[in-house]
Amino acid sequence: MATLDQFREFLVSNLGFKAHQINDGDGSGVATTVEGLEERAAFLVSTSVGNCYAAFKHEGSATLSESEANRYKALSILMPNGPAAYCVIEVAGHLRIYLVEKGNEIHDEMKDWDDVRNAEDMVREFKSELVRGLQQWAQKTLHTENSLSRFVQLMKGCWQDIWDIENKRNDWIFDEFTRFLFIKLNEDAKPSGSFTTVKLKSYCEQNNHMGDKAAQNFINNLFDDLKGHHPEVFTDENERVLSKAATIERVITRLEGINLKDTQGDVLGRAFEIMLSDTFKGKDLGQFFTPREIVAFMLDLARDNPNGPALDIEKSEHFLDACAGSGGFLIATYEDVYKHALGGGVEPRKKEQLLKRLGQETFFACEIEEKAARLGKLNMIVHAVNAQNAQWLHQNYLYNEEYGGLKPSIEYEVDFGDGKKKRRIGPDSIDLVLTNPPFGKSVKTEGILLDYQFGHEVKVFKSKGRPPEKRPKNSQDSEVLFIEHYLRVLKPGGKLLIVLPDGVLSNATAKPVRDYMREHAIIKAVISLPSETFASTGTSIPTNVVYLQKKRPGDVQGDIFMARADYVGRRANGDPLKENDLPFILEKFCEWQAGTLELPEEDKE
296-310 in b/e form (b: 16+ CB < 10 A) is bbbbbbbbeeeeebb
* Same domain (yes/no): 343, 237: no
Q: What pLDDT is recorded for position 504?
A: 92
pLDDT at 26 over 80: no
Mean per-residue pLDDT, 410-425: 49
* Same domain (yes/no): 217, 252: yes
pLDDT at 272 over 90: no
Lowest mean pLDDT among 283-287, 376-380, 581-585: 283-287
Measured between alpha carbons, how far is 179 from 197 in angstroms, rounded to an integer? 17
For the ranges 203-217, 333-347, 527-541, the one whose mean pLDDT is highest: 203-217
Q: What pLDDT is recorded for position 355?
A: 74
DSSP string for 398-443: T--GGGTTSS-GGG-EEE-SSSS-EEE--TT-EEEEEE----S-EE
pLDDT at 2 over 90: no
Q: What pLDDT is recorded for position 53?
A: 84
Give the C-alpha distances (Å, rounded to integers) separating 258 from 123, 141, 255, 261, 520. 40, 19, 6, 9, 53
CA neighbours closer than 13 Å in the CB half-sphere of residue 17: 25
Mean per-residue pLDDT, 125-136: 56
Three-state SS at 513 = helix
Mean per-residue pLDDT, 341-357: 73
* Same domain (yes/no): 117, 60: yes
Strand partners, 86: 53, 99
* Same domain (yes/no): 296, 153: no
Q: What pLDDT is recorded for position 117?
A: 60
* Same domain (yes/no): 366, 428: yes
Predicted confidence band of residue 405 (pLDDT cuts 50, 70, 90) = very low
In a domain, 468, yes or no: no
Looking up residue 78, the CATH number of its domain turns out to be 3.40.1350
* Same domain (yes/no): 320, 431: yes
Tell me the percentage of the chain whose pLDDT exceeds 70. 75
Measured between alpha carbons, how far is 187 from 222 in angstroms, rounded to an integer? 8
Q: How far apart are the first and last CA of the chain?
A: 26
Is pLDDT larger for residue 342 or for residue 38? 342
For residue range 441-454, what is the model confidence (pLDDT) as tens digits? 777 777 777 778 78
Instruction: Note whether 597 and 591 are within 8 A (CB).
Output: yes
* Same domain (yes/no): 308, 383: yes
Q: What pLDDT is recorded for position 80?
A: 74
Predicted confidence band of residue 150 (pLDDT cuts 50, 70, 90) = confident
Is pLDDT larger for residue 243 or for residue 461? 243
**The last residue of a domain, from among 528, 543, 561:** 561
Question: Which residues make Cβ contacts (< 8 Å) with residue 11, sequence separation at least 6?
Answer: 17, 22, 45, 53
Mean per-residue pLDDT, 89-95: 80
Question: Which residues make Cβ contacts (< 8 Å) with residue 293, sequence separation at least 6?
Answer: 62, 63, 568, 569, 570, 580, 582
* Same domain (yes/no): 258, 343: no
Looking up residue 528, the CATH number of its domain turns out to be 3.40.50.150
Strand partners, 201: none
Q: What pLDDT is recorded for position 104?
A: 38
Strand partners, 521: 550
pLDDT at 128 over 50: no
Measured between alpha carbons, how far is 58 from 342 in angstroms, rounded to an integer? 30
Q: Report the candidate in 75, 70, 92, 64 with the shortest Cα–Cα distance to residue 40.
A: 75
Predicted confidence band of residue 533 (pLDDT cuts 50, 70, 90) = confident
Mean per-residue pLDDT, 125-132: 51
Q: If you average pLDDT over every residue of the chain, what do you get?
A: 79
For residue range 30-82, what is the model confidence (pLDDT) as tens digits? 554 444 455 677 888 887 777 788 888 887 666 676 677 788 888 888 877 77
Predicted confidence band of residue 107 (pLDDT cuts 50, 70, 90) = very low
pLDDT at 337 over 90: no
**The last residue of a domain, from among 270, 304, 322:** 270
Instruction: Please tell me what DSSP assigns to residue 209.
Output: G
Q: What pLDDT is recorded for position 432?
A: 96
* Same domain (yes/no): 356, 411: yes
- Beta strand 30-32 with 38-40 is antiparallel
Instruction: Note whether 55 and 7 are within 8 A (CB).
Output: yes
Measured between alpha carbons, how far is 424 from 410 in angstroms, rounded to an integer? 8
In a domain, 54, yes or no: yes
For residue range 160-180, what is the model confidence (pLDDT) as tens digits? 999 999 999 887 888 899 899
pLDDT at 411 over 50: no
Give the C-alpha distances (Å, rounded to integers) separating 453 from 182, 409, 482. 44, 14, 12
Work out how many domains the chain is built from and give that number. 3
Q: Which long-range contacts (CB under 8 A, 24 or more apart) does 106-110 make?
A: 106/70, 106/73, 106/137, 108/66, 108/69, 109/307
Q: What pLDDT is recorded for position 93?
A: 76
**The last residue of a domain, from among 241, 270, 299:** 270
Tell me the percentage of the chain whose pLDDT exceeds 90. 27
* Rg (alpha carbons) of the chain, rounded to whole number: 27
* Same domain (yes/no): 302, 409: yes
Measured between alpha carbons, how far is 200 from 247 in angstroms, rounded to an integer? 12
pLDDT at 208 over 70: yes
Q: What pLDDT is recorded for position 315?
A: 84
Predicted model pTM:
0.72
* Same domain (yes/no): 223, 253: yes
* Same domain (yes/no): 266, 287: no
In a domain, 364, yes or no: yes
pLDDT at 10 over 90: no
> What is the residue range of 436's domain?
283-441+477-561
Ranges of beta strands (E only) in 189-252 are: none
Q: What pLDDT is recorded for position 202?
A: 94
Three-state SS at 145 = helix
Q: What pLDDT is recorded for position 455?
A: 76
- Beta strand 521-529 with 561-564 is parallel
